[in-house]
Amino acid sequence: MGRTREAGCVAAGVVIGAGACYCVYKLTWGRDESDKIWYDDEDDDEEESSDIAETRVQTGKGAKANAGAGAGARVQGDSKAKAEVGVELERGSDVKVEAHLGVQSGGGLEAKAKALFSTLKEQASARAGRGTRLGTIFGTRLLAPSLPCPGGRGGGCHPTRSGARAGSKTSGKSKGRTRGKSTRTPATAWPVRRGKFNFPYKIDDILGATDLQKVLNILERSNDPFIQEVALVTLGNNAAYSFNQNAIRELGGLPIIAKMIKTKDPIIREKAYNALNNLSVNAENQGKIKTYISQVCDDTVICRLDSAVQMAGLRLLTNMTVTNHYQHLLSYSFPDFFALLFLGNYFTKIQIMKLIINFTENPAMTRELVSCKVPSELISLFNKEWDREILLNILTIFENINDNIKNEGLASSRKEFSRSSLFFLFKESGVCVKKIKALANHNDLVVKVKVLKVLTKL
């Protein structure tokens, strides 16, 4: 019975050691979930965990395990204790556990348990030190600047709880099942529109009448802004071809597209203006679009300055005023156009000038044009600091208006015009003439030739 009791004591020591190992594991690795650092490589994680969980009991080279003649108890390798800790006793040809080794008295078992605990504590401390180092290197990530946090319910944006690292260890091992997956989306530029839909065509496809009818039906029936945008872009691209300009009109597409300019969505309005702009190249289409020209003009004037919607509206108005047929529909907005010419940025100025040049080339619009009120700061456009395009456009406007005033005989009726009118600014104040003469020495040869041409007509 003595050896049987000794074998029982050894088994109890093994269980005590396993419990000590589990306590060390909880102290060093079993931290709160909020402070954990998850690794991408699960194989490394499993190796580190198993190194702590595994208990290898070696008492010396050539030691033999004799559990007694009656007991014959041998604990084979890979057997796991039920105390939630895997305890592995390696059984080899020359590595065995002797039950009575070191058990000389009642305190032998306690000494052995202390030695086993010390060994396990050293191993766990080494593992904990490596874990801290990895946490310092890989424990944080960077969010892309000026992007919204991609977290929400699906994934957080806290740097230490995101479940992802800024980098990963290079390893030849294949990645296994991860402990936890992060739903963080990649830090890329988010599109303005996102959605899943089955649009039957690509936006750059050249479509026939049947397919154009399908796109118009989609645009008319859908309330999804994303689908509306794609449909308008598709129609606008197809409207660049003359044969489709007629087809879209014959299919009743102009009212459907024009209906989109009433929406509050600026992106939809911009795409609708672009489509109508391509369609307005056709003379017959202009006769249909003129119904909406006042609405386009009002929206262009009151929308955000220098916005894409404003530029698209100005391009459409410029196309609609290439001929003289519909210019009178916009005469009430002349003061607003000159205000935009002064307030807008470079590109807005260029587009407004093209529009005004269309009006100045029609002598019938001269009286209404020169009688409108304009900001006196408009004279600054004649400064030599502006580039060639700005100077050539403003000189063309002045030249056309000056010619029309002479041809229409308006010079003799100067009393009809106020001091804040375009007539007074260009003709009576004399400031414009001085500015133009100062441009005679401009470095740009093209500008210089234009200046000389204008001066010869004064």
Report pLDDT digits (tens) over 183-204.
444 433 333 444 455 677 777 7
pTM above 0.75, yes or no: no
pLDDT of residue 253: 96
pLDDT of residue 12: 75
pLDDT exceeds cutoff 90 at 137: no
Cα 116 to the chain's mean position, in Å? 58
**How far apart are alpha carbons 28 and 38 in whole angstroms?**
15
Q: Which residue has the higher pLDDT, 283 or 45?
A: 283
Q: Which residues contact 204 (CB under 8 A, 6 or more apart)?
A: 237
User: How many C-beta neighbours within 10 Å does residue 86 have?
Assistant: 16
**How far apart are alpha carbons 189 and 166 in whole angstroms?**
18
Percent of the chain with pLDDT over 90: 50
pLDDT exceeds cutoff 60 at 305: yes
Decide: 420 and 374 in contact? Cβ < 8 Å: yes
The alpha-carbon radius of gyration of the chain (Å, integer) is 42
Q: What is the mean pLDDT of residues 274-296?
A: 95
Max avg pLDDT among 33-42, 386-395, 412-421: 386-395
pLDDT of residue 409: 86
pLDDT band at residue 349, thresholds of 50, 70 and 90?
very high
Share the mean pLDDT of the chain: 73
- Which residues make beta-bridge pairs with 373? 421
Decide: 358 and 318 in contact? Cβ < 8 Å: yes
Q: What is the mean pLDDT of residues 291-306?
A: 95
pLDDT digits (tens, 9 = 90+) for 54-76: 434 343 333 333 433 333 334 33
pLDDT of residue 86: 38
Decide: 161 and 33 in contact? Cβ < 8 Å: no
User: Phi, psi (5° rounding) for residue 61?
Assistant: -75, 130
| Cα–Cα separations (whole angstroms), residue 252 to 108, 176, 359 | 101, 59, 31
Lowest-confidence segment of 4-18, 152-166, 213-227, 344-358 by average pLDDT: 152-166
Q: What is the mean pLDDT of residues 123-129?
A: 57
pLDDT band at residue 247, thresholds of 50, 70 and 90?
very high
> At residue 67, what is the residue type?
A
Classified as helix, coil or strand, 373 is: strand
